[in-house]
Structure formats: C-alpha cells, structure tokens
Amino acid sequence: MPTRRVVTGRSKEPRARFAEELRSLRTRRGDSLRQLGERLGWDWSLFGKMEKGETLGGPEMVQALDQYYGTPGLLLALWELAVSDQTQFRERYRRYMALEAEATSLWHFAVSVLPGLLQTPGYAREVLAAGGLKGEELDQQVEARMGRRELLAGEDAPPFRTILSEAVLRTPLRDAGEWRRQLEYLGEVGERDGVTIQVLPQSAGLHGLVGSAVMFLRLPDGRPVAYTENTYRGELVEENTRVERLQRAYDVVRDLALSPAESRKFVQRILEEVPCDPST
C-alpha cells in the first residue's frame, strides 16, 4: 500500500489546495479528464470543475478518486478541510452581513466587479451564475442581493463611497441591454445624497489593493472593521492593526482616483460606447 502523504502543500487555501492536488494526481497518471470520467463512471466535466475549484464534488466521488490514484484517505481529508472552510466562510459572511446592516458608514473598493449594493438584477444574475449558481438557488441569491440595495435607500441610509477600478467598467455583461441598464443605474445611484462613486483609472498603476475588493464598515461604537474578498474567499478583518493597514492602502487608492464629477463623466462615456438595442 502506498505511503499516505502528509496533508500539507503549496496552496494554503483549502479549496485551492484540493483542486491543485486533483490536477497534480491526474497529470502524473497521464489521464485526460475524459479518460478519468470513463474509468470512474462520472461525467468528466465534473472532474474539470473540481480541478478548477468551481465545485468540491461529493464524498463518494472523492473516495473513488483516492482508490483510483492509490492515495488512501488523502483526497478525502483535503475535501473535508475544503468543506469545513466553506462552512466557516458562510459563518463569517453572515456575521459580516449583520455588521453591514448596522454600519453608520461604508467605504468600498471594487477590483473586478461592482459591489452588490449597486448591482441590477441582470448584473447580479450573470455574476452569480459565473460563480456556479443555477436554478432556484440562483434565483434566491439574486433576490437576496436586490434586498441588500435597500440599505442605501431612505433618509437614514448610511453614507456610502465606492472606488471602482476601471477594469470593473471595462468588463461588460454578455447582454448589452442589461449592461446598459446597469450603467444607467450606476449613474442614477451616484446622484443620491450620501453616495459617492469614484473611478480608479488603469493609468494609476499598481497599488496596495490590486488583488482584493474591500469594504470598510464604521460601527455604531465608532469601531472600524473590514471585509476583504478575492476569487476564492472572503475574510472579516477586525484586528485594529490590520484594519489600519488596509485603510492606509485605501487612502492611497482614493488619492489616485478621479474626482466624483470626473467619475460621473467617465461612466457616461462608457455608457455611450454600449451598442443601442435596435428594437428600441
């Protein structure tokens, strides 16, 4: 029986580590995804999604892979770590959502997609679907995201500032009509009292937040917290030293960004570039 390897590796994030090990084992075996699917009796495209980190699969499939590769218990242990990490992520996110609801101000930086508070239903649906959601779960998540927009409505809405990387506005939806509606909504929300939208041009170059989106919440007791997010995970940051470090990086980004007035013109120029719907 092969010696069981220690569950450590190159990637520290459990989901990425699991996907990395799956790719490595298959490559060393010399199988294509299609061959792997045929030999184990599962749809080969599902193995592809697992290797990309888009899904974790189920325990029966992972046990079959352990048996096939001769790695008794290794993949199942990595799978359990990834599943546990996802559960912890959901718990952290629920805590963040509770804090967001009571925040007295919100400052945000978007690195690749618009913040949920500014998304239209069409934009939210495409973003969430790209993340793997579908069917009833997708519908529920879109509805929930639209409900979050109420946070910025009404007289008691907290001040909200977002700095949008130019890449956010240069990445359109597949549906030009939906993209137009999203940009129009962005312009509309930007006119509200208490909402400030700025654009960080690509010419600003590299900066301290280049790899992460971040939201700063000012809580009723005056304490700031931050929530950072990348492709694989989100993290609620409450330690003062780390929050201050992120705030300093945010201050640099804000200094590099266009003014609110210039940013409104920038969004308008992007909107003018969107093809008109010939049916309208």
Helical axes 74-102 vs 14-29, angle rounded to 10° = 150
Given this model, what pLDDT does residue 3 score?
37
Lowest mean pLDDT among 121-130, 143-152, 196-205: 143-152
Half-sphere exposure of 181 (CA within 13 A, CB side): 13
Instruction: Supply the pLDDT for residue 206.
Output: 93
> By 3-state DSSP, what share of the chain in percent is helix, strand and coil, each rounded to 5?
55, 10, 30
For the stretch 153-177, pLDDT in tens is 878 899 999 999 999 999 999 999 9
What type of residue sits at position 96? Y
Residue 93 has pLDDT above 80, yes or no: no
Q: What is the mean pLDDT of residues 117-123?
A: 96
Q: Please report the pLDDT score of residue 229 as a whole number.
A: 86
Q: How far apart are CA 15 and CA 52, in angstroms?
A: 10
Residues 6+ apart with CB under 8 A from 57: 46, 50, 79
Terminus-to-terminus CA distance in the chain, angstroms? 68
What is the per-residue pLDDT for 9? Answer: 42
Sorted by where each starts, the structural domains of the chain and their CATH numbers stand as 14-84 (1.10.260.40), 87-273 (3.30.870)
What does the alpha-carbon distance between residue 279 and residue 272 come to, in Å, rounded to a whole number? Answer: 17
Among 86, 83, 39, 28, smallest CA distance to 65 is for 39
Q: Mention every residue, 6+ apart, whose C-beta is less than 8 A from residue 239.
A: none
Helix axes 59-69, 33-40, angle to 10 degrees: 100
Supply the DSSP symbol for 30.
T
**176-214 per-position pLDDT tens digit:** 999 999 999 999 999 999 999 999 999 999 999 998 899
Cα angle, residue 105 at apex, residues 102 and 111 outer, rounded to 5°: 110
The fraction of the chain above a pLDDT of 90, given in percent, is: 57
Q: Are 177 and 277 in contact (CB under 8 A)?
A: yes
- The alpha carbon torsion through 104, 185, 164, 197 (nearest 10 deg) reads -50
**Which of 9, 13, 81 lies closest to 235 in space, CA to CA?**
13
Residue ranges of E strands in 159-200? 160-165, 195-200
Who has greater pLDDT, 16 or 123?
123
d(CA 169, CA 112): 9
Instruction: Please report the pLDDT score of residue 160 as a whole number.
Output: 97
* Cβ–Cβ < 8 Å for 209, 269: no
pLDDT of residue 191: 93
pLDDT above 70: residue 279? no
Tokens of 99: 């804090």
H or E element in which residue 79 lies:
helix 74-102
What average pLDDT score do residues 127-154 get? 86
Cα–Cα dist 183/18, whole Å: 38
Nearest-Å Rg of the Cα atoms of the chain is 22
Bridge partners of residue 4, in order along the sequence: none
